[in-house]
Structure 1
Amino acid sequence: MAVLGSVGDTFIASVAPLFMLSLGSTPFYIGLLTTTEHVQKIARIIGIRLVVHTGKARLMAGSRALAILPVLGLCHLAWQGTIGTTPVVVSLLLFAGREFIRQAGNTVWWAMIQDNTAGDAFGAFMARLRIRQRAASLVVPLIVGWYLGTSPSPGRFGWPFAAGILVSLLSVWWALGIKGGPLAEQEEGAFGQLRSAIRTPAVAWLSIFMATYQLIYSATGSMWVVALRNQGVGAMAFVWMGSIAALGQMISLTWWGRLVDAYGPRSTLSTTLLLKAGLGLTWLFLPTEFTILHVWSALFYLAWGILDSGQNMGRTQAMMDAVTEENQVAGFNAIMYAGSLGGIVGGVGGGWVFGLVSESTITWSGYPISLVYLAGIQAATFVVYLLSRKLAGYTDQTSTRDAVRSGMPPKAEGEPPA
């Protein structure tokens, strides 16, 4: 199910900014696209209400089936080939509509993960799952990028969207076979359950952590495509960067999983968040020469993939530690809503600000102000590291220094000593 979702997103969601740019989009609309990815999580309120009637697997499958409808509209828009503000807005609404419907099903995603994993081997399970996801994310973008070329017209996106529809149909069938645990009895409605969850200190701190990180990432990550395209990276190369990031995740996921299982999420989150903050400063050295630019981009995405896989592994374990089965569905979604709130602010604000600075000739110490913006905002990830120190169980978990001294990570079971 997770692999099919990754393949479908590669055909549809991952090329969304490029499709909108081919229609004549500005950075502001790209920022709005990122914002809608967070606004759509409002649909999880609907999911909380529906799951008591449908069960977890049927809710997931039904959402995937209905989400095909907006993609049909995207196919029509692509093959129609009209360029202008109206097609850009329509495409934005269709991408948002697809994700809104999918989010109703995603209400139960983490609950189903919790139902189907053994706590002691959670990191190993997530590593296997994500390695399979990233294997798909490694291969499919190469095909899509080759097909799209350097400067694709809107019509070139029609067939990838159609392929995404076929993958979505497969995911519907697969979702129906996933087992989900019984739902705990709830006396409160959807909003009451969310309020009860957010009052739990562990959930509250993790929600603040998620909101802050998503604000920073949404204000910068969605602008990478604009900055690199402005510098001379073609559409085909940009799609391939997704494969390079996936490669970074694949080669590191097992390592991160063993680290989380052995020491908890503390050392993993500390390491990845601090390095991400430092990685942001490399935007100040974005080259202009064609070959060096593409090498820089590849190394950046490789490093980002390695760090992002570790952060996601640590964050996921932190969620499992913070949420109890008594308020399972609402607990996970309260955290997701907090992240969405930060993402909305970051997406709208980041798109608006970057649209201004990318057109400006102002420099700071010789650096273009647009690159100073990307570097400065990403460096603020240091604040997220400080917040990670407030997460549940932090003081009881092994510090990064002690983990390094003990062997980071320890050898896998059955692995011979050095």
Structure 2
Amino acid sequence: MLTKSGRIQSAYRKHSIRSASASVIGKVVGSYCLLSQPLQLFVIDAGATDFYIGLINSSIWLGSPFFVMGIYVMYRLGKRRALLYCSGVISSILALPIVFAPLIHHYKLMPDASMLYLVFAAAVLHSIFESLGGASWFPMLQDNVPKRAAGKFFGLFRRRWQIVLMTSTLLISFFLGEDPEWWKFFAVFAVGELFFLSKIISLSGLAEKPLSEENKNISPLSTVKSVLKNKPVRDLCIYISIYNIAAYMPFAFFVKFLKTAGALSGSIIAATAMVPLGAIISLKFWGVICDKYGNRPVFTFSHIGMIFTLLLWCFISSGIISKIMFFILFCTWSIFQAGNGVAQTRHMFYVTPEHNQAQISILNLIFSLSIALGSLLGGLFLSGLTNIFPGLESSSMSYRLLFAFSAVLCIIPHFLLRSVSLEQDWKGRRVFVMFISSMRSAIGAFVVTKSNEDQ
């Protein structure tokens, strides 16, 4: 399987990447069906509060502290088996209570409050075992993906599963309709469970490099210490934390905000299909920009785009223009988030040493925890506002204030750009000027050609 230089042979690497793509599709579609917008709509119908919605969104990521323990699991079992057992078999079984939640709610097998806490517990336990196995995910990809093509690879890699996710979202939107009955939620959750189970087959086809003796002797505690001593990795941890909190704090509440504004369930689910669409149309572009000009311009464009997107969410109302607008804003949020994600991943591959792949797991921990914290802080922000100003509870103003606050927070990562840039990275302003000059030249050439034809 390995060449003399210690690399995975080309045939095994290609098969491994195909298996990785299939496993990601299983995870992404399963997570959308069981842990995303369909679940949000179900718990809202079951009487969930804003704080619970923030809690259930954060629960998907609350298992992320177990990434550190996942390092130990990776050393004991190996990367492939850690993924197969923890992220494949056990996490799929633990998601089963969510599948049966609509049935429990409909037949009143337990009080709704107890059912909601059961759903929360299942989501957290699922997240814990996903994290225990997920600590091996990026080290596994690092074994198979050449650094020189990392930006393009992750752009195309994410694009594939985003296409599947968008298709699934539109199908679910059509299936649920405007006012879904309980059995439709049950069917969607059951399909999600089947996709989770499909990961088990895909994960068994992954190829890995054996862990070096030096790698095996590194403890989780020493890994944390090595991250703190590695300035580029430490700076990336700080950047990821601040950016993800700012970007994801409002995302968990777009659905509840639209419900408050009078949008129907089917329209909301259809609008969420714009999230994978935004990634599909932009990921290849972002990957090429990263490989050609570096991460810094992509970080810059994503900051500016996210700020304007979140501010525009503040102006959504119940009019016809707003109904079109929230479709567009889901898409633009995804476009700029996709760019930032590609740049984060590419920078991570450059600054983490191959002899200590566990540092990638710490970065994954920070990534997941910051998203969980963003959702949780969003729920606390809304709860705090309605406690201070009770009149806001019956209106959408509290959500608009949350979106505006998040937009302001997105300014902070921009001041950290230098700490997450490589020496060869171009500045965002330079790339922007180059694009404008190229467009002006192209338009000028077109005008000259057209005028010559007219003569």
Question: Residues 97 and 122 of structure 2 are in contact (CA less than 8 Å); yes or no, is this contact kept in structure 1?
Answer: yes
- State the aligned residue count: 407
The residue number in structure 1 matching 2:219 is 189
Structure 1 position 357, deviation (Å) = 3.5
Residues 247 and 218 (structure 1), Cα distance of their counterparts in 2 relative to 1, 3 Å cut: closer
Of residues 60, 70, 80, the one that matches 1:47 is 70
Aligned to 2:41: 18
Amino acid at match of 1:91: V
Contact 1:322 1:392 in 2 (8 A): no
Q: Distance in 1 between matches of 2:190 and 2:311?
A: 39
- CA–CA distance in structure 1, aligned partners of residues 276 and 295 of structure 2: 21
Matches within 5 A, 1:96-175: 96-175=124-203
Change (3 A) 1:59 1:191: same
TM-score for both structures, normalised by structure 2: 0.83
Structure 2 match to 1:30: 53
Once residues 95 and 217 of structure 1 are traced to their aligned partners in structure 2, the CA distance between those partners, rounded to angstroms, is: 22
Match of 1:370 in 2: 399
Q: Which amino acid aligns with 2:186?
A: G
Cα deviation, residue 96, structure 1: 1.5
Partner AA of 2:326 in structure 1: S
Distance in 1 between residues matched to 2:60 and 2:221, nearest whole Å: 21
**Is residue 99 of structure 2 the alignment partner of residue 69 of structure 1?**
no
Cα separation, 2, equivalents of 1:237 and 1:356: 29
Find out whether 1:232 has 2:270 as its counterpart: no
Paired residues for 1:272-291 under 5 Å: 272-289=302-319, 291=320
User: How much does 1:266 deviate?
Assistant: 0.6
Structure 2 residue aligned with 1:2? 24
Measured after TM superposition, the shift of residue 162 of structure 1 is 1.4
1:259 Cα offset (Å) = 0.4
Is this contact kept in 1: 2:67–2:362, CA < 8 A?
no
Q: Cα offset for 1:367?
A: 9.2
Partner deviation per Cα, 1:182-238 (whole Å, 9 max, x = no partner): 223233321221221232101110011111122223422112121111111222222
In structure 2, the CA distance between the partners of 1:34 and 1:217, relative to structure 1 (3 Å rule), is farther
Whole-angstrom distance in 2 between the partners of 1:399 and 1:392: 9
Does the CA-based 8 Å contact 2:79-2:140 persist in structure 1? Answer: yes
Q: Is the Cα–Cα contact under 8 Å of residues 314 and 400 in structure 2 kept in the other structure? A: yes
Per-residue deviation, 1:66: 0.9
Residue in structure 1 matched with residue 356 of structure 2 by the alignment: 327
Is the partner of 2:82 in helix, strand or coil?
helix
Distance 1:121 1:408 in 2: 26
The structure 1 residue matched to 2:284, chosen from 247, 254, 276, is: 254
Q: Is the 8 A contact 2:42 2:185 kept in 1?
A: yes
Q: Would the alpha carbon gap of residues 392 and 399 (structure 1) be closer, same or farther in structure 2, given more than 3 Å must change?
A: closer
Deviation at 1:282, TM superposition (A): 0.8
Shift of 1:153: 4.2
Query: How many Å apart are 1:409 and its aligned residue?
Result: 12
Contact 1:60–1:108 under 8 Å retained in 2: yes
Aligned to 2:230: 200
1:232-272 CA deviation, whole Å, 9 max, x = no partner? Answer: 12222222222112111111111111101101111001111
Distance in 2 of aligned mates of 1:272 and 1:309: 8
With the length of structure 1 as denominator, give the TM-score of the two structures: 0.90
Residue 405 of structure 1, CA deviation: 4.4
Aligned equivalents of 1:129 and 1:362: distance in 2?
43
Instruction: Output the amino acid matched with 1:227.
Output: F
Q: For each residue in 1:133-183, what CA deviation from the matched residue of structure 2 results, as whole angstroms up to 9, or x when unmatched?
A: 111111001111222222334443211221122212221111111112222
Asked if the contact 2:53/2:379 (under 8 Å) is kept, the reply is yes
Do the aligned residues in 1 keep the contact of 2:261 with 2:396 (CA within 8 Å)?
no
Tell me the amino acid that sits aligned with residue 46 of structure 2.
L
Answer yes or no: is the 8 Å Cα contact 2:62–2:372 preserved in 1.
yes
Distance 1:4 1:362 in 2: 40
SS at structure 2 position matched to 1:178:
coil
1:370-418 alpha-carbon deviations (Å, 9 max, x no partner): 312212223320101212321141x4311123223445999xxxxxxx9
Unaligned runs of 5+ in 1: 411-417
* Between 92-101 and 203-212, the greater mean CA deviation after superposition: 92-101
> Structure 1 CA distance, aligned partners of 2:372 and 2:166?
28
1:22, 1:153 within 8 Å by CA — same for their partners in 2?
Answer: no
More moved, 331-340 vs 164-173: 331-340
Q: Is residue 64–residue 369 contact of structure 2 (8 Å, CA) maintained in 1?
A: no
Deviation per residue, 1:270-329 (Å, 9 max, x gap): 11112101221112211222x333211101011112111111111111111221112112
Q: Structure 1, residues 86-127: CA drift from partner, whole Å, max 9, x if none?
A: 111111111121122111111111112211111111122112
The verdict on how the C-alpha distance between 1:344 and 1:75 changes in structure 2, with shifts beyond 3 A counting, is closer
Q: Distance in 2 between matches of 1:4 and 1:369?
A: 36
4+ residue segments displaced more than 4 Å: 405-410
| Residue identity in the other structure for 1:324 | P
Bigger shift: residues 260-269 or 108-117:
108-117
Compared with structure 1, are the counterparts of its residues 408 and 309 closer, same or farther at alpha carbon in structure 2 (3 Å cutoff)? Answer: farther
1:382 matched to 2:448? The reply is no
CA distance in 2, matches of 1:409, 1:43: 49
Distance 1:148 1:8 in 2: 16
Alignment partner of 1:25: what SS? coil
Given that residues 378 and 402 in structure 2 are in contact (C-alpha distance below 8 angstroms), is that contact kept between their aligned partners in structure 1? Answer: no
Percent identity between the two aligned chains:
20
C-alpha contact 2:135 2:364 (8 A) present in aligned 1: no
For residues 67 and 362 of structure 1, the distance between their equivalents in structure 2, rounded to whole angstroms, comes to 39
Residue 88 of structure 1, aligned match among 116, 138, 153: 116
Q: Residues 8 and 408 (structure 1 numbering): CA distance in 2 closer, same or farther, change over 3 Å?
A: farther
Whichever residue aligns with residue 26 of structure 1, its letter is T
Match of residue 414 from structure 1 = none
Residues 244 and 371 of structure 2 are in contact (CA less than 8 Å); yes or no, is this contact kept in structure 1? yes
- Aligned CA-pair RMSD: 2.5
Corresponding letter in the other structure for 2:68: I
Q: Which ranges of structure 2 fall in alignment gaps of 5 or more residues?
A: 1-22, 439-445, 447-455
